[in-house]
Amino acid sequence: MKGKILSFRRGRHKYKPRQYIVQVKGVDTKDKAFKLLNRKVFWKSPAGTIINGKISSTHGNKGCLRTLFERGLPGQAVLSEVEII
């Protein structure tokens, strides 16, 4: 499955640099998003480096997912695609 990184998970005063919000194609409700919990996520850089992550919970009511990535995922990864297994 393919997904798209929308943004960092953020609050009023802070953002969390390891947590990203991902939207998956075809997932548009919270119930569909629950089925994807605890799956692995991979982001591949243009240089070929792979950074792993895991879907930890849902985010909102439109089917977005909160993912925790390893350290080292750059800010340029926002609006790029990820692979979900």
Beta bridge partners of 7: 21
CA distance 61 to 78: 21
Q: Can you tell me which residue has the tokens 């909160």?
A: 66
For the beta carbon of residue 80, count every other beta carbon within 10 angstroms.
14
51-77 tens-digit pLDDT: 999 999 999 999 999 999 998 889 899
pLDDT digits (tens, 9 = 90+) for 41-55: 999 999 999 999 999
The rounded distance, in Å, linking the Cα atoms of 56 and 9 is 12
Q: How high is the pLDDT of residue 18?
A: 86
Averaged pLDDT score across all residues of the chain = 92
**Model confidence at 9, in pLDDT bands (50, 70, 90)?**
confident
Structural domains in the chain? 2-84 (2.40.10.190)
Contact 7, 80 (CB under 8 A): no
